[in-house]
Amino acid sequence: MIPRFREWDAEREKLFKGKGMSYGVRKDFDNSFVIEFEHMEDLDAINKDGSIDRVVMMSTGLKDKNGTEIYEGDIVKNIYDEIYVVKWFDADFHLEEKYNGGFDYFELYSGDNKKVIGNIYENPELLEGE
């Protein structure tokens, strides 16, 4: 699988899909991953240390029951109307379910019986009352 990424730009309140990724192809980025996105940054958006404040999310490589690609940070619903957040931890993608003030985690191995209903950045209201 070729890794795919997207980013959340809080300043623009927008998601951008990644165009590609390279590893150490430029001398100033040796031993680093460089992810190219759909837009170019204004110089004033770049921090003094050369970084840019963005949240990068990786695709799980899975699609939901409607064929929508599932990314880290997505909010999904299963056939029982239970809502989960897709998280990356312990070297794998998991579904996080909030209940009674705690959390439960399930490994995400298939998207067949799930539907992407939003993401934690554009649709935080979907998690209210959980």
CB atoms closer than 10 angstroms to residue 106: 11
User: Domain residues for 122?
Assistant: 61-127
Length of the chain, in residues:
130
Q: pTM of the full predicted structure?
A: 0.76
pLDDT of residue 110: 87
Q: Are 18 and 35 in contact (CB under 8 A)?
A: yes
Which domain CATH number covers 87? Answer: 2.30.30.290
The residues, any chain, with a CB within 8 Å of residue 11's CB and separated by 6 or more, are 45, 53
Q: What does the angle CA 39 – CA 123 – CA 113 come to, to the nearest 5 degrees?
A: 100
Q: Work out how many domains the chain is built from and give that number.
A: 2
Q: Rounded distance, CA 108 to CA 106, Å? A: 6
pLDDT above 80 for 78? yes
For 88-117, write each residue's pLDDT tens digit. Answer: 888 889 999 877 666 788 888 888 899 999
Report the sign of the C-alpha dihedral through residues 65, 66, 68, 71, in that order. negative
| Alpha carbon distance 99, 72 (integer Å) | 20
Q: What pLDDT, on a 0 to 100 scale, did the predictor assign at position 49? A: 63
User: In terms of domains, do 74 and 105 share one?
Assistant: yes
Strand partners, 20: 36
More confident position, 25 or 13:
13
**What percent of the chain shows pLDDT beyond 70?**
67
Cα separation, 45 vs 88, whole angstroms: 27
Task: Say yes or no: 88 and 32 in one domain.
Answer: no
State whether 69 and 108 are in the same domain. yes
Taking only the tens place, the pLDDT of each residue in 44-72 is 555 666 666 678 888 999 999 999 999 99
Please give the Cα distance from 121 to 41 (Å, whole number).
20
